[in-house]
Structure 1
Amino acid sequence: MPTRPERHRPDRRRFIANAAALAAVGLLPSAHAWAAPCRKQDSNWIPDDAFLAGLPGIMKAFAVPGVGIAVVDDGVVAWSRGFGVTNAVTGTPVDARTVYEDASLSKPVFAYLVMQLVDQGRIDLDKPLVQYRRPDYLADHPWIEQITPRDVLRHTTGLPNWRSKPATEKLVPMVKPGTRIDYSGEAIFWLQLAVEAVTGQSLDDSMREHLFGPAGMDDSSYTWNADLAARSVYGHRAHDAAETGMPPQMFREQWSIAQQIADRWGKPLSAWKYEDAERALPEVIALAPAGLVTWPGDIVANAAASLRTTVQDYAKFTTLMMAGRKRAPWEIREATRQAMLTPQIDIPGRYTQKGLGWNMEPTRDGPVFYHSGSNGGIFKNFALGDAQRGRGIVVLTNGGSGSFVHQRVVRAATGYDLLSYDL
């Protein structure tokens, strides 16, 4: 479903420095931060004309029909452009209103909401998650009791990425929480249910109130409606896939069936919470092809994987992570922003680090924050930012080989050959 678990590789460089101030306000588990001197470069991250002229050829080589690129410079969205088509069969052109399936780029956006609730005193990063909500699919295991929101956001819960049979399989940690990094969509989804309990709202309603509305992210949603259906890209197989034809569309197919129930209830999918999905599940299963929908998580907003945005909206979000900007009252505090971009656990041998919702990687100019996204083997995305220099780039694609495209875009735009590409 979302991204594959990350593999451990040797540490190439580490930038660890004192961050006692963040630890003092309870945002860091220890007094460590990542820092490196910044070197000002004259060029921005907008790809040059020569590269953009050749981009359609790169897309064709890797069978990626559509790409959206947006660039942040000096802390604002400075440039954006779409290429190709949303659907290789219909040939509908990509435009400024095209909505992409962001896949695991969903996670940093959700993490921002969680940190807003932390700033409001409604969530404690180090309080056991079971004290907020204990879904009935959790295993009866002592390690479950130790998992905290911090563990979730830095991927140290010990939980698997996704259960293979969520309708019948209990969720149980593989290792003691806080001892190693295990990339887990399941953990993010559990934290989402805790946020529902804290706010009394659906994920989309919380997002609209706290983030999407204030940030002007008007084309963003973790769920589905007729407008999103019309503007959303279709996913396409990798260039070297053995199968042919349009692949299964996963969320699009699941949502389309759930939409029938939502219409009958008069309650939009954006307002559904987990209990609504539980109630609707038998009817949806009856309407769906065998195996398409198996548990409530298939038909409710998924904080780990189901975000849809325009490329401009996602770039707007990355601007919130930039240093030195004047912050509106609804935004997270400066110390909280720094905590999101500060390594939260020291795992020897890792070449990248986990912040709260973001990954961090050293470069010649200092650390950058990033996240990748992969859904169903047919959507591949990447977002990268340099908080100190106020720069960022977002590349969203609708092809299973989209990583080959977004890597080339980011290299051409930034000059970085990132180690994170080896995941």
Structure 2
Amino acid sequence: MAPVLLAAALALPSAAVARPKDAAIDAYVAQAMAKAGSQGLALAVIDDGRVAYVKTYGKRNAQGDPLTPDTVMYGASLTKAVFAWTVLQMVDDGLLDLDRPIAEYLPRPLPEYVGQANRYSAWDTLSDERWRKITPRILLTHSGGFANFYWLEPDRKLHIHFDPGSRYAYSGDGLMLLQFAIEQGLGLDLGLEMQRRVFDRYGMKTSSVIWRPDFATNLADGWDKDGKPEPHDQRGKVRAAGSLDTTINDFARFSAAVASGEGLSPKMRAEFAKAQLPITTATQFPPLQDELPPAARKKGLAAGLGVVTFEGPQGRGFFKGGHNDVTGNTWACVDKTRDCVVLLSNDVRSETVYADLVRFILGDAGAPYDWEYGDQAGK
């Protein structure tokens, strides 16, 4: 650790402990940001299912405008968790069944949807009949068999690399396929559903999965790993894999709702954070890496629905990240105590101190950042 990162993390707590005082959090964040070279960071703490602390640090753009709790920041793949929460509400309402194949929802076979690549994925390039076995649960657990996105394939076509449901391999295209099934099979607009079921319900007034012009008045640009600034991308299409714009105030509200279970039946809330499928790889990326032998796998690490679950000193927890070249987000929760930490950053370099920050605030929860970030965890 760097010049002590606040005296060896102020003797980092090793198990469930009382939340650090606000001033101690601020001091720790300041040293962590200095260590990472981070220009902007937003933080929220959820204590027993309630928003306990929200604070922003640093700048939202290269002009030096301050990052505020209402600054619009890119949610990146945190979108996937919000999408999963939306889907589980649909299950509660009887609109979807987690284990019914998507083929039974679609009006025609998936490969017949020609020309959808610009909005969804290259469904018309898929000839593997195993797609008919794919269910919403399989897609929410990243076990559809796809690469992250079809355009990362050498031939830029969609392929199924293993039997659907048999192993975890992170896939944005999998979430996009579930969006496609919902919109084509149920005749629903996912953007409107997420607005109604999540953003309106939880008072998230400055969140959307499609660009809104009013976001421009208080918008976070970003910094890449070399410290180069980059403007915020205006995402004009709803994408379940990652088009969320939000604020730390708003995502804190969502996190509190999830921690307390507000908005889902007890059964569906349990499914959300349940260990659905063991994770068998050394790291999250690259997604299609070889599986480890059973004895070498991280014990207790599994796919939840839209999140990753883990077993730690404080019991079951779950977390989700969000990343692009200038964005580094993380959200980690302990189920039993209903405690969470949300970290949104418009500087990707912040990710190097997230493991320390989460542990300082939550105690030793066991969030597996070595698996999430690989060699970059804690550097």
Query: TM-score, normalised to structure 2's length?
Result: 0.80
Of the candidates 309, 314, 334, which is equivalent to residue 360 of structure 1?
A: 309
**SS of residue matched to 1:116:** helix
Q: Which consecutive aligned stretches of 4+ in structure 1 deviate over 6 angstroms post-superposition?
A: none
2: distance between equivalents of 1:335 and 1:163?
Answer: 34
- Give the distance between the partners of 2:179 and 2:37, measured in 1 at CA: 35
1:40: Cα distance to partner? Answer: 9.3
Within 2, Cα distance between the matches of 1:161 and 1:72? 31
Task: Quote the Cα distance in structure 2 between the aligned partners of 1:396 and 1:254.
Answer: 18
CA distance in 2, matches of 1:69, 1:151: 32
Residue correspondences, number: 327
3-state SS of the aligned residue for 1:221? coil
Structure 2 CA distance for partners of 1:199 and 1:213, relative to 1, 3 Å: farther
Match of 1:103 in 2: 76
Q: In structure 1, how many angstroms separate the alpha carbons of the residues matched to 2:234 and 2:71?
A: 20
1:339 aligns with 2:271: yes
Deviation, 1:48, is 4.5
Answer yes or no: is the 8 Å Cα contact 2:17–2:363 preserved in 1. Answer: no
- CA shift digits 1:270-295 (9 cap, x unpaired): xxxxxxxxxxxxxxxxxxxxxxxxxx
Q: Are positions 1:126 and 2:99 aligned together?
A: yes
AA at the equivalent of 1:173: I
Report matched runs for 1:17-416 at 5 Å: 41=16, 43-44=18-19, 46=20, 48-87=22-61, 89-133=62-106, 134=110, 135-136=113-114, 137-138=122-123, 139-164=126-151, 169-238=156-225, 241=226, 245-247=228-230, 249=231, 252-253=232-233, 255=235, 299-322=236-259, 327=262, 331-346=263-278, 348=294, 349-351=297-299, 352-375=301-324, 377-416=325-364
Please say if residues 381 and 395 of structure 1, whose CA atoms lie closer than 8 Å, have aligned partners that are also in contact: yes
Higher RCO structure, 1 or 2 (CA under 8 Å, sep 6+): 1
Deviation of the 1:224 alpha carbon: 0.6
What displacement does 1:62 show? 2.1
Cα shift at 1:229: 2.6
The answer to whether the 8 A contact 1:114-1:195 is kept is no
SS of residue paired to 1:342: coil
Q: Deviations 1:251-286 (Å, cap 9, x if unpaired)?
A: x4454xxxxxxxxxxxxxxxxxxxxxxxxxxxxxxx
Higher deviation after alignment, 56-65 or 391-400? 56-65
Structure 2: tracts of 5 or more residues without a match: 1-13, 115-121, 280-293, 373-379
> What residue ranges of structure 1 are gaps of 5+ in the alignment?
1-38, 256-298
Structure 2: distance between partners of 1:316 and 1:365 = 23
CA-CA distance at 1:90 after TM superposition: 0.8
TM-score between both structures, scaled by the size of structure 1: 0.72
CA contact (8 A) 2:330 2:343 kept: yes
* Identity across matched positions, percent: 30
Maintained 8 Å contact 1:47/1:413: no
Q: Say whether the 8 Å CA contact 1:77–1:312 is kept in structure 2.
A: no
- Say whether the 8 Å CA contact 1:67–1:395 is kept in structure 2: yes
Distance 1:53 1:346 in 2: 37
Between the aligned partners of 2:298 and 2:143, the Cα distance in structure 1 is 14
